[in-house]
Amino acid sequence: MNFRRIEWIFFIAFIILDIFLVSSYFRQGPIPNANSKGTENTTVSVLKSMRDDQINVGKVSNKKDNGYYISSSDGNHLKEKGNSLRYQNWSYNNNQINSTFATMIKVNADNPQRSLKSIVNDPSQIIDGKDYKYCKKLSTKNVIVYAQYIHGDPVYDSSGQIRFHVKNGYIEGYTQGHLENIQTLRGSRKIISQKRALIWLYQYNKLPSNSTVESSNLTYSKLLSVNGNTIYIPTWVFYIKNNASGSTIYRKINAFTGAVMDDGNN
Per-domain boundaries in the chain: 3-70+184-254, 75-181
The whole-model pTM stands at: 0.82
Where are any strands of DSSP class E within the chain?
55-56, 66-67, 70-73, 88-93, 96-106, 133-134, 143-147, 149-150, 153-154, 161-167, 170-176, 180-184, 189-190, 211-226, 229-242, 248-254
Mean pLDDT over residues 212-239, rounded? Answer: 92
CATH numeric code, 75-181: 3.30.310.160
Domains 3-70+184-254 and 75-181 are alike in CATH topology: no
pLDDT value of position 196: 93
Mean predicted confidence (pLDDT) in 55-82: 91
pLDDT band with cut points at 50, 70 and 90 for residue 89: very high
Average pLDDT of 188-204?
93
Answer whether residue 25 shows pLDDT above 90.
no
Fold of 3-70+184-254: Lipocalin (2.40.128)
Tens-place pLDDT, residues 229-248: 899 999 999 999 999 999 98
Give the orientation angle of helix 194-203 with respect to helix 40-52, to 10 degrees: 60
Instruction: Tell me the per-residue pLDDT of 142-159, one tens digit each, with 9 for 90 and over.
Output: 999 999 999 999 999 999
